[in-house]
A and B are shown apart, each in its own frame.
Chain A
Amino acid sequence: MSSERLKGHLEPLLLGVLKRKPAHGYAVIAGLRERSGGEFDLPEGTVYPALHRLEKQGLVDSHWEVVDGRRRRVYSITGAGANVLAEQRAEFDVFAASVRMVLS
């Protein structure tokens, strides 16, 4: 699926991945790919800016960890992020159901 198609949906998808557990960028991308059955195989450079944007919005938090001598930024969802994710999931359910009804 093209990244253009995911426009507007990437942030909630990232929140969805982080809702399961905190993760660094590489693991977030891998989680997105695995949980979508390989459909969401994005240019990886699109994910980090989105994570930074979510952090500026207060929806995720991040901190440094050192793994195998290498610094790694680990992201976790905040309470506000969890609330936004729940709202967006509910909105998307209604939207998807409505579109299916119209198209079917």
Chain B
Amino acid sequence: MSSDRDPVEQYLDRLLVELRGRVPDVRRILVEVDDHLHEAIAEGMSPHDAIASFGSPRAVARRFDAVDAPIVPDLCRLAWKLGAVGLIAIGLSGVLSLGMRAAWGSAFVAGDPVGVTYTAARCADYREYHPGASTCAAAASAHHADEIEEYRVLAGILGVVGFGLWRWKLRRDADRLPIELDHTIAGVAFGLGGLACLAQGVSMLAEGTQHGAGQWLSAAVVALAAAAYAGTRVLRTLRVGVA
């Protein structure tokens, strides 16, 4: 096949390959695009510029796909993304818990409430994990803190994998959801969650620094930071949109 074919014809061929849907719809799209490109060229644009300003065949085809596509997949992709971000936030709070533990000890992150007693068997379990602990309570705190950090960091790793999958396979430029819906939902969810964790952490802190306030405060710090970031994104979009 000759390489000096009409570039518009070449473009339409590539678009035909990319388009899905009913044959009459595909034919109509090709006629409309053909008419558009020829009119642009007749108005003085070069074929290359006319094609470039129309967009790549794949991108154009995906937008036509979206005309008939149900909105549920877009919502599922959004839920996936937000779930992954939530897990990453949990992972970060695990890392922050590690820092708090290093600074203020295990009981700050995961100390049991006042009055909790341990059976001999339970105490032996805790001491098996932390033989160097001076008391049952200290062994229990260290064990609980281990769990908090490990589970949260594991959740974070899962979140990173999930977010990577979203970026790689699930992200779409032409979904039909309102702009900044993701940041709006994230901002509200993280904001409410962060405030609830903060209230719980402060309440536990009021009882003393050895009763596990850190597990809530670490979550609150990460959630409120995420809420602030999401809120900033929404406000920036609103501001630019009306400038």
Asked if residues B38 and A70 are in contact (CB atoms below 8 Å), the reply is yes
Q: Which of A13-21, A43-51, A80-88 lines the interface with chain B?
A: A43-51
Is there a chain A Cβ closer than 8 Å to B31's Cβ?
Answer: yes
9 pairs of A and B residues whose beta carbons are closest in the complex: A45-B55, A45-B60, A49-B63, A7-B179, A43-B55, A26-B39, A44-B54, A45-B54, A53-B67
What total of chain B residues lie within 8 Å of the partner, measured CB to CB? 30
Inter-chain contacts of B60 with A (CB < 8 A) = 45, 48-49
Instruction: List B residues at the A interface (Cβ < 8 Å).
Output: 25, 28-29, 31-33, 35-36, 38-40, 53-55, 59-60, 63-64, 66-68, 174, 178-179, 237-242
Give CA–CA (A30, B197) in the complex, Å: 53
B33 to chain A, nearest CB (A): 7
Give CA–CA (A5, B180) in the complex, Å: 10
Give CA–CA (A8, B179) in the complex, Å: 7
Asked if residues B35 and A24 are in contact (CB atoms below 8 Å), the reply is yes
- Tell me the interface secondary structure of chain A in the complex: helix
Asked if residues B53 and A43 are in contact (CB atoms below 8 Å), the reply is yes
Q: Considering only CB atoms, which chain B residue lies closest to A27 in the complex? A: B39
Contact among B35, B67, B241 for A70, CB-based, below 8 A: B35
Inter-chain contacts of B66 with A (CB < 8 A) = 49
Asked if residues A99 and B242 are in contact (CB atoms below 8 Å), the reply is yes
Tell me the A34-92 residues at the B interface (CB within 8 Å). Answer: 43-46, 48-49, 52-53, 56, 70-73
Give CA–CA (A44, B49) in the complex, Å: 12
Is there a chain B Cβ closer than 8 Å to A4's Cβ?
Answer: yes
Asked if residues A73 and B28 are in contact (CB atoms below 8 Å), the reply is yes
B233 to chain A, nearest CB (A): 13
Instruction: List A residues at the B interface (Cβ < 8 Å).
Output: 4-5, 7-8, 24-26, 43-46, 48-49, 52-53, 56, 70-73, 96, 99-100, 103
Give CA–CA (A53, B237) in the complex, Å: 25
Give CA–CA (A96, B179) in the complex, Å: 16
Inter-chain contacts of A73 with B (CB < 8 A) = 28, 31-32, 35
Given contacts A7-B179, A8-B179, A52-B64, contact A44 B35 (CB under 8 A): no
Besides A48-B29, A56-B68, 15 more A-B contacts (Cβ < 8 Å) are A4-B179, A25-B32, A43-B54, A45-B55, A45-B63, A52-B29, A52-B64, A56-B67, A70-B35, A71-B31, A72-B35, A73-B35, A96-B242, A103-B238, A103-B242
